[in-house]
Every structure is written in structure tokens, then in C-alpha cells.
Structure 1
Amino acid sequence: MKLSRFLPVLTWLPCYNRAFLARDLLAAVIVTVMLIPQSLAYAMLAGLPPQMGLYASILPLVLYAVFGSSRTLSVGPVAITALMAAAALGQLFEPGSADMVGGAILLTAMTGLMLLVMGVCRLGFLANFLSHPVISGFITASGLVIVASQLGPVLGIQAGGQNLYEVAMALVRHRDELHGLTLAIGGGVLLALLAARRYLKPLLTGLGVGSRLADNLARIAPVLAVAVTTAVTWALGLDRAGVAVVGDVPSGLPELVMPAADLSLWRQLAISAVLISIVSFVESVSIAQTQAARRRERIDPDQELVGLGASNLVSGMSGGMPVAGSFSRSAVNVDAGAETPAAGALAALGVALATVFLTPAIALLPVATLAATIIVSVLSLIDLPALVRTWRYSRADFVAMLATISLTLGYSVEAGILAGVGLSIGLFLYRTSRPHSAVVGRVPGTEHFRNVRRHQVETRAHLAMLRVDESLYFANARFLEDRVLELVSSQPELTDIVLVCPAVNLIDASALESLEAINERLEAGGVRFHLSEVKGPVMDRLEGTRFLERLTGHIYLTSYQAWQALGAGSRMAAQEPLTGDVCKNA
């Protein structure tokens, strides 16, 4: 087995050259300029000291460059995981306390360990059980909660809460605390960033700036807002006038720490760590797959678990917060021309230099500026029209999406994602427990068979051909029995039933017992039971079982073959069962 499967860095590092370095370095500079204010803002969103955001943007990026399978995913602090960390830690610790910092370090390390275990066990497929409407609903609701939670810092009001209702009530209760200077800064930055997002790129392109450069300049507008408001605060002494600022940020590189060994705290944080692991993985893989498709590359979900796990583990051990893939930074990384994950490692170097040399300048950065930056960055996460689209297409998915949004907004982010996970699995079990099935008939003059309710087809009174459009397993085994017996009771002339299996990729032990029971009951009623279009892997599992030995009918390679063989309605076998290589290769 190739070592590069476990160390993706070996797939690109041996062929690294100066051209790659030049493009990666340019992308790293642009991403670093974005990452520094975002890392500070998301640490604040999580209720943590700002340096924890910086620390989470150094070693985790290097580890992902070694173990991650995506060449362009930008890893670091993101809004959703910051909000989830705030919800988990806020229930246990006093915001900003040393205990909360220790809890954050442990939560981040636990998240990394869980992702690593999932990656080693190759559990990347579990992400498929979270439906897109549920994830979309959770992200939309989380975005709304984040926006509401940052209105307090923009207004100069101390207001917090675990959900939209609590935040809204806190804002109303403390409305008399509104601070005019803070609102001027926060509101001004907010309007400026919104205007830059909408108008700056067209303005720059109109002035002759290239489209890609104009797009990148528009994306790094928050850095200009940080620089300007920090300079104004320093020049006018606004911090002494009541404007909240970040305060002193320790300079220097992070020191390695060991997470707390308190077992009771591990138990208290376990569920939160699992949920953060799931959300960070699903969000990161979705971003990585989108970027890989643009570049005609592929990613390995299981290796992504390892890469994200290693990044979170080292983030915790270096005093950082949970990390995941960022859509905005990844898009900038691609647009800026990044060729390899070395761009992320170079961005980590840029953040490290900033942590060593630039932290004194951050002390007078207004908190309102960071809050406005967070609001603008998460607005793109909110997709309320998705509710309408989902309602029109699938009522069941709409209910799951609405429930996720409602619980996230009205109770907590943890309740919302737990509901989403449960509803996703529940919908899957419900749909597959009642699979679509259809009695099919022959399209005249062809070898094709279609649903008798949708097409003009030929049928025979003594023969029923039932197509099942789902794999057969414990959840739908009883449904199949009921469907076959219902068919027999509605057609007294039946002598033969063919189970058409083109969509059956699996028959588990419960379904096999159901097939045996169906065979016995049909035999008691004088009806033979046949199968057609059985796939090779399914046939391999059936061979040597009692079912094939006791089957009253035959297994046909195609439905047309069954139609021809059973055309006369005779109770004598029309041909020998198809076995051996013919069925194995079906």
C-alpha cells in the first residue's frame, strides 16, 4: 500500500518547483491578510481570548498541508464551529475565564481525536446521513444566531444568549446601554463592508483592474476596516471614551500544552465534541469537493477526517480553538492561484509572524469592528429562499429543515444539529422502509418493462412482475412481504410472481428470511416465486443458502427472459434456473 495514501503531502512535494512556490506565496499573502482579522473575530465569537484564534491559524494549517487531501482547502477558525464552541463552553464556564480557556483547549483536542478515530476507521461515509436540507437549515439558523449575537458589540451593549430569543430579550433589556461612539464605529464598518462587497469589484474593474485582482481586493476589505478603526481609536483615544477594544494580546508563538485530564469534564464535553466533529467535517468536505470539481481533482473523505483531526488535535495542544475549512478563504485561495497545500503552510507562517510582531497594534482594535466583520462574513451563510425551494420539492425534507432551523433559533445550536442528525436518519429509514415498487408489464414489441400505471404495456392474468426500487434490508423486509401478499390477494388467477431486482444492491439476513417466508407462503397458495435481474454481488451472497435450494421458481437473467419462459402459464418449469457464471456476472 502506498505511503502517499496516508501522507498526501508525498503526492505533491516531490514535484514542487519555483513556479508553484510563486503562486502559493501570492495566495498565502492574500489568505493571511483575511485570516488574521477573521481569527480574532471568531475567537471573540466563541467567547475566547483573541490570541486563541491566532494560535488556531498556525500549526493546524501546517498539519493539514501534510495530512489533508484537498490542495486548496483553507483550514482555520470558522463561524459555525466558533458558535458551537461558545454554546458548549458557555454552559460550563464563566466567559473569558481561565477555566473556559482550559475547556476550549480540551474541547478542541477531543474534536481532533474523534475526527482521527473516524478517519482511521474510514467512517467518512457517515456524512452521507446528513441530508443537505438539514445542513442548509442548520447553517442558516446558525448564521441568524451569529448575526443577532454580534449586534450587542456593534451597539455597545453587553447582551448574550444561547438562542435567538435569549439574545433578542437581552438586547431589549440592555437597550439603555447603547453607546453612540461604538455604534458609529460598528455601524460605519458594517455599511462600508456591505458596500465593498457589492460595489468595490465593479468599481475596480471599471477602473481597469483585472477581474481576479479586483475580486481579491474586495474580499480583503475587512483588513482596511481593521487598520482604519484601530488608527482612529489610537489617534482620538476612543478607548478612554468607552469604546470597547480587544486589549493586550500576548506576543510570541504558542506553547504546547496538554489538555486537562479531568474525566468528568471529558464526559460533559463529549457530545459537543462529537457534534463539532460532524459539522466541521461535513462543511469542510463540501467545500473541498466543490473546489476539487473546479480543478478536476478528487479528495478522499476518510483522509479529510485524518487531516481535520490532526489539525484540531494540534490546535488544542497549541492553545487554539476548533478549526474547519472556510468557504470564503478557500475561494480566495483558489482565485489567487494556489497550486498546493503549501499555500496554507505559508499562510501559517504569515500568521506566526503577525503573532510575534503585530500584536501590540491589535490592542486598540475596536470590538465593534470585529463584530461587524463577523456579521458581513456570515451573511452569505443565510439562505432563507432554500425553505421555499425545499417546500416545493419535498414536504418531508422541508419538515426536517424547518425543525432544525426552529430548534437552533429557539433552543440551542446543539439541539438543532441533534435534531438534524436524527431527522436525517429518520427520513432515510422511513423512505427506505417503504420503497417504491411497481407492477411492470412489457412495452409492446420491445424487451423493456415499465410501470403498468404509467405506460400502455402488455400484462398477463397468470403472471405478475413486481419491481422493487431499493435494496432489501431489515427496515423494509416486512413491507416486501405485505406487498407481495397484497398482490396475490388482488389477482386470484396468479400462478407466477417475478421479483424484478435491478435496483437491489443488497439483501441482508432479515430480508433473506422474508424472501424465504414469501416463497413458502406462495408455495402454499399454489404460486411459484421467481427472481430476475439479480446483480452479481447479490447472487454471490444467495448462493449456497436454503433460499435457492427451496425456491419454487427460477432466477432469470432478464425480465424479458422471464416473460418468455412463463408466457404459457404452465405450472411446469419453462427452463432450468440460471446459475453459475451467468448470474455471478449479472
Structure 2
Amino acid sequence: MQKTTLKSYFPILSWAGEYNRDVLFSDLLAALIVTIMLIPQSLAYALLAGLPPQMGLYASMLPLVAYGIFGTSRTLSVGPVAVVSLMTASAIGHIASAGSVSYIEAALLLAFLSGVFLLGMGLLRMGFLANFLSHPVIAGFITASGIIIAFSQLKYILGINAHGENLFALLHSLYASVANTNFYTVAVGLPTLIFLFWVRSGLKPLLVRTGLSDKAAAMLAKTGPVLGIIATSYAAYYFELGSKGVVLVGEVPTGLPSFQMPKLGHDAWRELMLSAVFISIIGFVESVSVGHTLAAKRRQRIVPNQELIGLGAANIAASFSGGYPVTGGFARSVVNFDAGAVTPAAGMFTAVGIAAAAMYFTPYLAYLPKATLAATIIVAVLSLVDFSILKKSWAYARSDFIAVVTTLVVTLIMGVETGVACGVFASLALHLYKTSVPHMAVVGEVPGTEHYRNINRHKVITHNHILSLRIDESLYFANAGFIEDKVYELVDACSDIQHVILMCTAVNEIDLSALEVLESINLRLKDSGIKLHLSEVKGPVMDVLAHTEFIKHLSGQVFLSHHLGIQKILAKQKSADTQKVQDWNI
């Protein structure tokens, strides 16, 4: 029992014992490919977060090792991602100027707070909280964030100064500065942008035509950003573009990060706390979504609560090793999966590859134009923009459409943090709305069966003196009043009703407010000469009701099945009618 518990908290123990040479080879190959992809991404996302480029590399080392020990996904690749990088910049942008010591300290603290929050949720088994953010809301938020990120990087493509936390502020700032466009920078950024867009769709077919296998061509096509970095860095060095106004990355410290405790006494820790919560929730939802998708393809599973612990450990590791908030990235994880990664060791080997790059590759980054990194970001985030969710939600449910549009518009107009808050509110409001106006159906017997269905959808048998009402939702304070009004409305519409049976097939819970409403319904119907019955009450609900006065004062009965209840009422009615005939004959 102790061994099982230990494995549940340290998933590495579940796969490390089965590790062999074949698995090692697969993981090493996947790590090599992901490392090549992750180097430009790490640098670019650090730029997006307003941090020195080396912090992107630092955030791709120790966090991968920590997740490999505590995470349950075999193929999830943890590190900096676009949306979390944007949220990091938004959270600490008003605290200090980008790149300053105070700004870096705030980023480290933000990673630590995110890690502690995630770890705490995992230990308390609170992974269910992420369910309060619906998929449509998340899709709307990510789409809006992708648009904001893409426009925020245009300043690097144009070589101008612009700023803003929302789309309109960015557009206004870009418009005001567009006259100062540096055409040398455009000459670097625009061709790189076009090349990277072409790489996504055109490089793979080209490689296949040269004789490479489909899989090999797909893997090599992922190295497109690296080619862009090499080409533009060489161009910047050869043509001395730095002296012509092209902004370069500049000198990047060589070596591994120093390990130090984040500054817990930072003046802005209270302001960062709420941002850490938002970043944690968004990161967790994105990570678990990717993890579930990839695990299902191999008939594996992930444990959401343990994923919280794994991501929490990764963020704490980032805070101690010079990084910033991280989570599971969709693009990297898919590449890791397609490259044949078998275990989280692939992520650990990737961390070693990133560490090697930090030790030996960084001197070559001095001539890297920031326009190249901006182009990398734009191409990456535009794949996140998905307007099809608007059409899908409109066709499926208007309430989901309203939630998507609200989140998307608020994020674009007011920024990412307000957008996240709006998304959480929209998700909760959507849930409350749907459950506060539950579907209720008058049902009748399907001829020749013991099944009961909606009288408006099926040809069924009904009885004038019996109202069979199915409630398709748990009963709680938000919908109790609606249910009460609906019962009275249906009873008042028919003067022949002598019995009301509430079919409770879908009722999983009845809270105290709903119980009081049931007592009120029972009393009012009893005064009108109508009996109230319940049918198909679930065991846990019945256990609670059994300890209340409601069951003792119920005017009718609780039936095991709805059909049985109808038959008993009809039999009793027939017996009563027969007795009346006998009395009349006498």
C-alpha cells in the first residue's frame, strides 16, 4: 500500500523500472528534435514576456526535470508558452519597466506563487476547479490572446516603439509610430515572417519530394525557425545591421543559471497573487487538455490532481533557476509525441540539450535580430486563433456563443487579466443560468413498455388525473423557485389532477433550499386535495431525505420506479371506483 502511494506522488517510479535501450533511443531522438524547436521558442517567448532571452532558456531546463519526476503525462513538454508569457508581461508590466532588476524579480516571484498555488491545489485534490472554465470560454480567451500577441510583435517587425495591454491601445500606439518605421528592420522581419509561414505548409512537401519519409520530413520542417535564426543572424553580422537601427538581442550570458530563492518580500507580491492564480488556472487547463489528448492516442491516462503537483513543481523549479511561469505547450508536446517520445525522460534530455545550448550557443545570439524572434512568435500564435468556435457555439447553443463572444471581446478591449476574470465569471454564469432554468418535461408511458418520455416528442399514454413531471437537473437554491412555479403552473392548467409524481431520475442532489420548496409544494397540493409523489429517487438523495420531516409528511409515496407508481395509483383508483359501484348497488 505504501509503495502504491509513493508511486502516485512520484510517477517516475512507475516507468523508470521498465526503462530499456529501445526506449532510451526513442526518448533521445524526440529530445533532439524538441530541443532544436524549443531554443528559438524559448528566446522568443522571453522576449514576449519582456524578459532577457536567457530566461527563456532557463525556464526550459529545471522545470522539465521537475515535471518528469512528478507529472503523469508521458509526452507533455513543459516550458514557456505564448499565452502565459503574455499574461506574465501583463501582470508585471505595470510594476516595473521591462528587463529591469525589479521586473525580473517579479517574474521569479510570479513563477513561485504560481507553483505554490498549483502544488496546493494538487495536494488538496482540487483539480476539479479547472472545470469552471468551459472549453468555449478558453477558446475565446486564447483566440483573443493570440490576436493581441501577434499585434504586439509588429513593433519589432517595423522597428518602432509601441505599447499597450489591449488591442486598441496597441493599434493606436502602432499607428502613432508607424512613420518611424525602420526599413532595414522590415527587410529582416517581413521575409522571415513569410518564410516561416511557408515552412508550415510548404517545406514538408518539398522534403518529401527529395525522397524523405513523411515522418522525417515533418520533423525536419519543425526546424524552420532555426534556419531563420541562422540566416538573419549572419545577415545582421555581415551587413552590420545593428548600426542601421535594427534591434539585436545583444550579448547573452553564457552558462547555467544560478540557483537562488525568489524575493518573497517583493513590494508587489499582493498584486502578483491574483495574477498567479489566473496564470495557474489557464496554464493547467491548457496543459491538461493537451495531456488528455495525447494520452488517449496511446490508451494512456493522466491524473489531473497529480498534474497540478507536477506543474507546481515545474514552476517552483523555474523560480529557483532564473525562469518564469511555465506550463505544457501544445505545439512542443505534439512534436514530442510525433517524434516518438515514450517517457518523461525525453523532457529531461531536452533540458540537458537546452543547458548545452546555454553554455555553448549563446555567444552566437548577439547578432540575432529581435524581428526574427517576433516573426517566430507571430507564426506560432496565429495557429492559436480559431474563429470557428464562434460558428460552432452559435449553431450549438446561444448561451455558449454569448460566453465566447464576451470573453473574446473583453480580452481584446480590456486586456488578458480582465479577460481571464471575465472568462471565469462567464463560465460560472453560464453554469448557473443553465441549472437555474432546468429542463422539465411532462411524461407519459410509451405503449408496450415501462418507459416514460416527453409528451411533446412521443406518442405516449397519459392519465388526466395524474401529472407525471420529469426534472432533468439537481434541485438547489438557484432553481428551486423555478421548479415550484412550473409545478403550480401545470397543476392550475388542469382541474382534474389528483396526483403529481416528480420523476427524479436526473436529480443527484437536493439542498436545503430545494427541500423547503418541496415541503411548500407538498403542503399546497395537499390543501388542494392533490397528493405529491416521488419516483426513481437515487440512493444518496434518499439517504438524505430519510432523515428529514419531509418524507414523514409527504402526502403521497416514494416509488422505486415511475411505472410502478403509475400502476399502483391506477390500481388504487380502480379499487376505489369498484367500491363506489358496490356501495351504490347496495
With normalisation by structure 2, the TM-score equals 0.96
Q: Which amino acid aligns with 2:308?
A: L
CA contact (8 A) 2:295 2:301 kept: yes
Work out whether residues 462 and 569 of structure 1, in 8 Å CA contact, stay in contact via their aligned partners in 2: no
Which residue identity lines up with residue 78 of structure 2 in the other structure? V
Asked whether 1:413 is paired with 2:409, we answer: no
- Residue 453 of structure 2 aligns to a residue in which SS? strand
Shift of residue 562 of structure 1? Answer: 1.2
1:96 aligned residue: 99
**8 A contact 2:477–2:514 mirrored in 1:** yes
Give the Å deviation of 1:573.
11
Q: Does 1:129 align with 2:132?
A: yes
Give ranges in structure 2 of 5+ residues lacking alignment. Answer: 578-586
Deviation at 1:86, TM superposition (A): 0.6
Q: Tell me: CA distance 1:563–1:187, structure 2 relative to 1, closer, same or farther (3 Å).
A: same
Instruction: Compare 334-343 and 215-224 and name the one that shifted more.
Output: 215-224
Match of residue 213 from structure 1: 216
Aligned mates of 1:251, 1:207 — CA distance in 2:
38
Partner of 1:397: 400
What's the CA shift for 1:251? 1.1
Aligned pairs, number: 574
Q: What is the CA–CA distance in structure 2 between the aligned matches of 1:571 and 1:302, rounded to whole Å?
A: 57
8 Å contact from structure 1 (residues 495, 571) kept in 2: no
Match of 2:490 among 475, 482, 487: 487
| 1:203 aligns with one of 189, 198, 206 | 206
Match of 2:478 in 1: 475
Deviates more, 1:360-369 or 1:203-212: 203-212
Instruction: String of CA shifts for 1:270-298, please: whole Å, max 9, x gaps.
Output: 11111101100111111111111111111
Match of 2:112 among 109, 113, 126: 109
The answer as to whether partners of 1:496 and 1:530 remain within 8 angstroms in 2 is yes
* TM superposition shift of 1:267: 0.9
Tell me which moved more, 144-153 or 123-132: 123-132
2:106–2:266: 8 Å Cα contact kept in structure 1? no
* TM-score normalized with structure 1 length: 0.96
Measure the CA separation in 2 of the matches of 1:263 and 1:535.
Answer: 53
- Which residue, 500, 519, 523 being the options, matches 1:520? 523
Give a deviation string over 1:431-450, Cα, whole Å, max 9, x none: 10110000101112221111
Which amino acid in the other structure matches residue 401 of structure 1? V
Query: Hey, what's the Cα distance between the residues in 1 that align with 2:470 and 2:530?
Result: 17
For residues 139-176 of structure 1, what are the alpha-carbon distances to aligned partners after superposition, in whole Å with 9 as ceiling and x for unaligned?
00000000000111011111111011111111111112
Matched residue type, 2:300:
E
Over residues 418-457 of structure 1, what are the superposed CA-to-partner deviations in whole Å (9 max), with x where a residue is unaligned? Answer: 1111011001001101100001011122211111111121
Q: Match for residue 338 of structure 2?
A: 335
The correspondence of residues 140-219 of structure 1 with structure 2, limited to 5 A, is 140-219=143-222
- 1:276 and 2:264 matched: no
- 1:387-441 Cα distance to aligned partner (Å, 9 max, x none): 1222222221111111111111111111111111101100100110110000101
Could you tell me how far 1:218 is from its partner in structure 2? 1.1
1:474 deviation in Å? 1.8
Q: Distance in 1 between matches of 2:76 and 2:429?
A: 32
Match of 1:249, SS?
Answer: coil
Take 1:528 and 1:214, find their aligned partners in 2: how far apart are those partners?
Answer: 73
The answer to whether the 8 A contact 2:11-2:69 is kept is yes
How many Å apart are 1:83 and its aligned residue? 0.4
Pick one of 337, 343, 348 that aligns with 1:345.
348
Counterpart secondary structure, 1:475: helix
The equivalent residue for 1:536 is 539
Give the conservation status (yes or no) of the 8 Å contact 2:445–2:462: yes
**Aligned counterpart, 1:326:** 329
Q: How does 1:284-323 map to 2 (within 5 A)?
A: 284-323=287-326
What is the alpha-carbon distance in structure 1 between the residues aligned to residue 28 and residue 136 of structure 2? 37
- Which deviates further from its counterpart, 544-553 or 106-115? 544-553
| Paired amino acid for 2:330 | F
Which stretch has the larger CA shift, 333-342 or 112-121?
A: 112-121
The aligned amino acid for 1:316 is: S
| Per-residue Cα deviation, 1:484-528 (whole angstroms, up to 9, x for no partner) | 222221222111111111111122222222222222222222111
Is residue 2:362 matched to residue 1:362? no
Show the counterpart of 1:41: 44
Letter in 2 for 1:213: A
What code does the residue aligned with 1:118 have?
A: M
Q: Does 1:228 align with 2:249?
A: no
Contact 1:190/1:373 (CA < 8 Å) preserved in 2?
yes
User: Which residue does 2:256 correspond to in 1?
Assistant: 253
Give the SS at the match of 1:503.
Answer: coil
Instruction: Report the equivalent of 1:461.
Output: 464
SS at match of 2:331: helix
Between the aligned partners of 1:273 and 1:573, the Cα distance in structure 2 is 69
* Cα deviation digits, residues 206-235 of structure 1 (max 9, x gap): 222111111111112101111111122222
Distance 1:127 1:492 in 2: 48
**Residue 496, structure 1, aligned to residue 499, structure 2:** yes
CA distance in 2, matches of 1:529, 1:156: 75
Hey, what's the Cα distance between the residues in 2 that align with 1:319 and 1:572? Answer: 83
User: Hey, what's the Cα distance between the residues in 1 that align with 2:228 and 2:47?
Assistant: 17
Alpha-carbon distance between aligned partners in 2 of 1:221 and 1:556, rounded to the nearest angstrom: 68
The answer on whether the counterparts of 1:253 and 1:352 sit within 8 Å (CA) in structure 2 is yes
**Partner of 2:584 in structure 1?**
none
| 1:440 counterpart SS class | strand
Distance of 2:241 and 2:147 partners within structure 1: 30
Inter-partner Cα distance in structure 2 for 1:49 and 1:572: 87
- State the distance in 2 between where 1:453 and 1:568 align: 26
1:538-559 deviations in whole A, cap 9, x for unaligned? 2222223222222222221211
Q: CA deviation at 1:331?
A: 0.5
What's the RMSD between the two structures over aligned residues? Answer: 1.5
CA apart distance, 1:46? 0.6
State the distance in 2 between where 1:18 and 1:471 align. Answer: 54
CA distance in 2, matches of 1:416, 1:170: 21
User: Is the partner of 1:467 in helix, strand or coil?
Assistant: strand
CA distance in 2, matches of 1:569, 1:402: 56
